[in-house]
Structure 1
Amino acid sequence: MNLLIMGLPGAGKGTQSEFIVKNYNVNHISTGDMFRAAMKNETEMGKLAQSFIDKGELVPDEVTNGIVKERLAQDDIKEAGFLLDGYPRTIEQAHALDTMLVELGLKLNAVINIEVNPDILVNRLSGRYICRNCGATYHKIYNPTKVEGTCDVCGEHEFYQRPDDQPATVKNRLDVNIKESAPIIEHYTTLGLVKNVGGEQDIDKVSQDVKAILD
């Protein structure tokens, strides 16, 4: 079984990826893992990627695509299939993936798209706050302090948010993701591959819905 998983930051891709890998024994392929392995093993594409990273430059699409193709050409993929996570990020990468799958004799079975209202994701992702005194981390929805305004660890009352966790920054990040992912989802919808899953439900219910699709 060969799959893609898509969804905005905070939608629960990581949790459902773990569920799919555990229950269907496919190879979980994330962009970060692929890059690290290619550079560690000093593959042709890995060395090329390293040369850009060493200069502080973005790795171009053709190198990223090359690293993905190197990984998909390995024997364990033919035996057990894959779950691609974090790739493709652009419509150009999606077209490149189409081409490489044909060249490798592989076929995509489904694109699992976890849907969550962006406003809910802003609350999920911007809820983290940190005690200024001891660094203990909390979340206003999922892990609040036991006594409002008082750190559980050190008893201090002053908290702050990292710039990345502030609502305006989170919303901007989501807007960029929505803009990039929309043409990719449209592309795979046209191919009849997209399976939408409601990500606002209880985690176990999301997993059940994923299982119903894959079974």
Structure 2
Amino acid sequence: MLNIVLFGPPGAGKGTQSQKLIAQYNLVHLSTGDLLRAQIAQGTELGLRAKKLMDEGLLVPDEVVIGMIDSALQTHKATAGGFIFDGFPRTVPQAESLDQLMAQHDSGINCMIALEVQEEELVKRLLERGKTSGRPDDQDESKIRRRVTVYNTETAQVAGYYAAQKKFHALNGIGPIESIFTQICGIIDQNKATAPETPAEATKEVKA
């Protein structure tokens, strides 16, 4: 099973590349924001718990988010070729929890790919997107810059975690969409070929 953590600041083109990767590798896109909204809409136990916390102005704890990811893995793992994790993990404890969860499903993260785009280019892209997206945070330059700063701070922590596992890959997010996609596929195919599919297989390789 192929599992990718895809990172990129707002406006880096992550959404566009995710859709192409889904089609290429038969992956399921797991966005924590989408999962949260879906669980709340369905009125699940996790969704109700998350909504209660959000209504009180509190952050949804990692254990609830991991629970939602676990539910999604169980729902799709029989038919999916793997998963794209979007917006998660954002901290080292979250990355550690995700590794533990994937191990329970006899799987693991193959690679983390971060699309890198300079801040001025991101601001230009998002302000342009804001003309049609209708999102207030795409129309306010100060909010855009704040979002980019938060992303950079979060990614620096998680990048180090995956770099220690030799799974972190940074990629220039400026250029033709197809060219960037080809580079992403090259990284994925290399890691797919070299990374053990499961912890059990890793053990077999060591014994061999």
TM-score of the two chains, using structure 1 as the length reference: 0.76
Aligned to 1:167: 141
Q: Distance in 2 between matches of 1:167 and 1:50?
A: 30
Q: CA deviation at 1:45?
A: 1.7
SS of 1:2 mapped into structure 2: strand
Q: CA deviation digits over 1:152-208, x for unaligned, max 9?
A: xxxxxxxxxx67533333222211211111110111111111222211111111111
Aligned to 2:169: 195
Poorly superposed stretches of 4+, deviation over 6 Å: none
Mapping for residues 6-45 of structure 1, pairs under 5 Å? 6-45=7-46
Q: Distance in 2 between matches of 1:6 and 1:180?
A: 10
Q: CA deviation at 1:8?
A: 0.9
Mapping for residues 97-112 of structure 1, pairs under 5 Å? 97-112=98-113
Can you give the 5+ residue segments of structure 1 that lack an aligned partner in the other structure? 130-136, 140-161
Q: CA deviation at 1:212?
A: 2.0
SS of 1:105 mapped into structure 2: coil
Q: Which moved more, 1:88-97 or 1:200-209?
A: 88-97
Q: CA deviation digits over 1:18-65, x for unaligned, max 9?
A: 000011111111112211332334333222112223434332222122
- Check conservation: 2:126, 2:138, Cα contact below 8 A: no
Q: Distance in 2 between matches of 1:46 and 1:28?
A: 19
Q: CA deviation at 1:89?
A: 2.0
RMSD of Structure 2 on Structure 1 (CA): 2.4
Mapping for residues 147-166 of structure 1, pairs under 5 Å? 165-166=139-140
Cα distance change of structure 1 residues 208 and 164 upon mapping to structure 2, 3 Å threshold: closer
Q: Across the two proteins, how many residue pairs are aligned to each other?
A: 186
Aligned to 2:202: none
- Check conservation: 2:137, 2:144, Cα contact below 8 A: no
Cα distance change of structure 1 residues 138 and 22 upon mapping to structure 2, 3 Å threshold: closer
Aligned to 2:61: 60
Percent identical among aligned pairs is 35
Aligned to 2:116: 115
Q: CA deviation at 1:78?
A: 4.4
Larger Rg: 1
Q: Distance in 1 between matches of 2:34 and 2:171?
A: 25
Q: Which gives a bigger RCO, structure 1 or 2 (Cα 8 Å, sep 6+)?
A: 2
Cα distance change of structure 1 residues 13 and 138 upon mapping to structure 2, 3 Å threshold: closer
